[in-house]
Amino acid sequence: MARATPPSRAQRSYALARDWLIHSALPLLVFLASLAVWEGLVWLKSIPPYLLPAPSRIATTLIADWDTLSASLYVTLRITFAALFAAMFGGVGLAIVFTQWKWAERSFFPFAVILQVTPIVAIAPLLLVYLDSTLAVLTCAFLVAFFPILSNTALGLASADRHLVDLFQLYRASRWQQLIWLRLPAALPYFLGGLRIGGGLALIGAIVAEIAAGSAGQGAGLAFRIVESGYRLNIPRMFAALVLISITGILIFLFFTLLSHLLLGRWHESARKTES
Amino acid sequence: MTDAPLVQLKNIGKEFANGVVALEELNLTIHAGEFLSLLGPSGCGKSTALRLIADLSTPSQGQIEWHQGHDARQTLGFVFQDSTLMPWTSVYNNVWLPLRLAGVSKSQADYRIHEVLDLVGLRAFESAYPGELSGGMKMRASIARALIQRPQLLLMDEPFAALDEITRLKLNNDLLQLKAELAMTIVFVTHSVYESVYLSNRIAVFASRPGRIVRQIEIDAPYPRDLSFRHSELYAKSCQDASEALQSAMSEQDHL
């Protein structure tokens, strides 16, 4: 039987180039092409910018209105991340409480479910009555981001390998030793999955709540800019704000994906590279 | 080479919450220094018996009596069928675990960890993660972890069942060598007649529903055992005895 020879340097660099083409260059090209088609259509049909602005117009608006937009971006980012951090600590903390004390899970899980299944747009107006608008928006973003983190972490804490649980019992591990050295590490992949979903949802929650809050907002976030630009028929600025929201969402997703790879890369199937 | 009783299972019965009777009227004495195999078809309660000895489960009836003080009970080693390593940390940390749970720091445990890793031939892989090891190496790491507390009694629940034949034969020999070096008592659950005959002084053959011991076979061959034992008449005879006992245990089951 012939043994496979290791690939030569030329073969390897060819494979690398091909991988780069498929993974990075191709999606980028398709994206740029679709922008070009959009731009072309707007020019060809001479569509006015208050109906559909061309990508170039959106870009110039983004630069021209940067002062206003960046201030709004900062507001939205601050709320999103504050909500996400609160959801992270709250979700993990409550998940730990739930797994340590079954009665707590029985008693409080229904509340978490009720808050989750009630659409946030329906809760937002009520929160605006009771809380000042910034806090109300923050609470909405927290509520939507909280549940996936809680339920994923709780699932992870409960799904530690049965034999490993036996092993810890055999070596007379205390409940807290079992939590720290077995259940928390076993829950890490689930927690990170929840965090990735929660990160996206925190942004969505913040935007939805801001729209519900409407003009009541003092520190005006990106969603408020969209609503405001709509009233003023400033469609290019609407698109510019939308672009910033999308980019924020993508960056949040990429950040947590990268974090998962860094933390799980060496041991969890979801992050391990397949051997070929 | 076997002498005083180490653990005695007296009239043990185990009924699970769902009404399944796993064990009934089980009497078994484990002598210090012996290699005892529990052989039987799957579902015959042999693993349950092992879990009862390890105190991972409590009997519904009967008692388990420990004879030589509490040391054997405190340091008990257990090897599961799958290697049951923590995938998120290195072999070194996995082996450290039993001592770590007992409050022994890394620096205090270091010598001992290296000693057992040397015993199982995994010293070079101490910083590898379980996912980076072969099945046989994972099982070695699992054995190293079970040995770290210098157990007098090592319980093994079908440890080599999922391994390929060559790895299994190698680990059989290594296990016998470890037993000789460390003067342990081993209780070994298996469903392989050949493995049980090759390894043990004594085989307890189980029948199922309800789980009970139907026959005990002494294998009077000296240690160390090697390939020549596998070719001996005693080996062939013992395999035949054990197979017959297993056959009759299983045909009995068919009548039910």
Please judge whether B80 and A163 are an interchain contact, meaning their C-beta atoms are less than 8 angstroms apart. Answer: yes
CB atoms within 10 A of CB B170: 15
For the cut 80, the answer to whether the pLDDT of residue A5 exceeds it is no
Please judge whether A161 and B100 are an interchain contact, meaning their C-beta atoms are less than 8 angstroms apart. Answer: no
User: Which chain A positions have a beta carbon within 8 Å of B100's beta carbon?
Assistant: 181
User: Which chain B positions have a beta carbon within 8 Å of A172's beta carbon?
Assistant: 101-102
For residues A205 and A122, what is the distance between their CA atoms, to the nearest angstrom? 12
Mutation choice for B interface testing from A159, A162, A165, A171 by most B CBs within 10 A: A171
What's the mean pLDDT when you consider all of chain B? 89
DSSP A188-229: HHHHHHHHHHHHHHHHHHHHHHHHHHGGG-SS--HHHHHHHH
For the cut 60, the answer to whether the pLDDT of residue B2 exceeds it is no
What pLDDT digit, counting tens, does each position of B64-73 carry?
988 876 677 7
pLDDT computed for residue A270 by the predictor: 72
**pTM across the whole model:** 0.84
What's the mean pLDDT when you consider all of chain A? 88
For the cut 80, the answer to whether the pLDDT of residue B127 exceeds it is yes
Dihedral (C-alpha) B149, B150, B153, B157: value to the nearest 10 degrees?
Answer: 60
CA distance A260 to chain B (A): 13
The mean pLDDT of B5-23, rounded to a whole number, is 88
Residue in B with minimal Cα distance to A176: B101
Residue B85, phi then psi, degrees to nearest 5: -100, 155
For the cut 50, the answer to whether the pLDDT of residue A276 exceeds it is no
Assigned token pair, B97:
């675990």
Residue A234 is classified by DSSP as -
Within 13 Å, how many C-alpha atoms sit on residue B246's CB side? 20
Q: Which of B212, B202, B172, B161 is nearest to B40 (CA)?
A: B212
The mean pLDDT of B50-71, rounded to a whole number, is 86
What pLDDT digit, counting tens, does each position of A114-160 carry?
888 888 888 888 888 898 888 988 999 999 999 999 999 999 999 99
User: Which chain B positions have a beta carbon within 8 Å of A272's beta carbon?
Assistant: 131
Per-residue pLDDT band for A1 (boundaries 50, 70, 90) equals very low
A to B CB pairs, distance under 8 Å: 50
What pLDDT digit, counting tens, does each position of A63-109 carry?
999 998 999 999 999 999 999 999 999 999 999 999 888 888 888 88
> Higher confidence at residue B70 or residue B191?
B191
User: Which chain A positions have a beta carbon within 8 Å of B54's beta carbon?
Assistant: 170
For residues B159 and B140, what is the distance between their CA atoms, to the nearest angstrom? 10
Residue B213 is classified by DSSP as E
Residue A224, phi then psi, degrees to nearest 5: -60, -40
Residue in B with minimal Cα distance to A177: B101
Is residue B69 within 8 A of residue B235, CB to CB? The reply is no
For the cut 50, the answer to whether the pLDDT of residue B1 exceeds it is no
Residue in A with minimal Cα distance to B145: A167
The mean pLDDT of B175-193, rounded to a whole number, is 92
The mean pLDDT of B147-157, rounded to a whole number, is 93
Per-residue pLDDT band for A275 (boundaries 50, 70, 90) equals very low
User: Which chain B positions have a beta carbon within 8 Å of A170's beta carbon?
Assistant: 54-56, 76, 78
For the cut 60, the answer to whether the pLDDT of residue B256 exceeds it is no
In terms of Cβ atoms closer than 10 Å to its own Cβ (0-12, 13-18, 19+), residue B63 is exposed
For the cut 80, the answer to whether the pLDDT of residue B254 exceeds it is no
